[in-house]
Structure 1
């Protein structure tokens, strides 16, 4: 931490704890969404809608399925497998409980979690961009209109039972 000094160990621990909490929250949200896509909880679209991802939800059904299929293929990297990401939580807990506390070890685990999250995000992003690249200009314009509508609807769309478009819409 060149150029930045904490005035006390208590402040350092508080800052690291806060950083860990925020990182774990973000990782948990992303990992939970990924788990739901092909986990035992049911249909991927229901969970995508709950997670609030308008870019994917607004895609026509066949293109959404293609994004999910590409994302699953891209997750063959064992370093970001569900089991590997769960193991990182155990490493984080070990680092948190360690006495004396080693901020460098906690940072190492957080960095690994961040990298795994970014890898999953990049995989989905690449699959999504691939689908957009295959669309014609009118299809992309209609798609952009659906995304815009979903953004305007916000949470209200969840309450009124709105569903993503079917194939060809």
Structure 2
């Protein structure tokens, strides 16, 4: 055999775009899952019993800037879609199962994994876009005075940062 016939296997270069895509998907899933969990809850716990920062994770400063009535209205709107939100969450979970199976498959098919992750990302983005549109509609429904108050609360939140976290071990 000649040396030309014995070429070493070429390794595929590491692709950062896949890592970034996967991390972006994970972050989006965290945000959307938190938004759906916080907004769709049927009972609103006492403020002391709520997970500190749950609103921040759900909406960031925008969520804190909405008054209680606005947040209640958005929750009510999402409650009408609870079935669709749950089905989307199940579909995202099924997508993860398919990705895990594709990662373990031999031979590995990078195009399949990319396609599955992109499909999952599209589901997450659609849900995040829906929540964003709901928030924008709530803002658009405000009169000038309400919008001014919202802007004042948002500006104050941005100036001072998120509310402090209160942990049980801080209450000794």
Distance 1:28 1:84 in 2: 12
Is 1:34 aligned with 2:63?
no
Distance 1:142 1:39 in 2: 26
CA gap of 1:9–1:35, structure 2 versus 1, over 3 A, is farther
CA contact (8 A) 1:95 1:101 kept: yes
Query: Which residue matches 2:94?
Result: 87
- Structure label with greater radius of gyration: 2
Distance 1:20 1:98 in 2: 20
Query: Which residue matches 2:61?
Result: 54
Residue range with higher mean Cα deviation, 41-50 or 76-85: 41-50
3-state SS of paired residue (1:10): coil
Deviation of 1:72 after TM superposition, in Å, equals 3.8
Q: CA RMSD in A?
A: 3.2
Distance 2:76 2:23 in 1: 30
Deviation of 1:16 after TM superposition, in Å, equals 5.8
- CA shift digits 1:58-89 (9 cap, x unpaired): 11111111112223434644796221111111
CA gap of 1:96–1:17, structure 2 versus 1, over 3 A, is farther
Distance 1:36 1:159 in 2: 19
Distance 2:112 2:71 in 1: 39
Query: Which residue matches 1:158?
Result: 164
Query: Which residue matches 1:5?
Result: none
Q: How many residues align?
A: 152
- The correspondence for 1:105, drawn from 100, 103, 112, is 112
Deviation of 1:36 after TM superposition, in Å, equals 2.7
CA contact (8 A) 2:65 2:150 kept: yes
CA contact (8 A) 1:23 1:110 kept: no
Deviation of 1:149 after TM superposition, in Å, equals 1.1
Is 1:117 aligned with 2:149?
no
Structure 2 spans left out of the alignment, 5+ residues: 1-9, 168-172
CA gap of 1:64–1:92, structure 2 versus 1, over 3 A, is same
Structure 1 spans left out of the alignment, 5+ residues: 1-7, 162-169
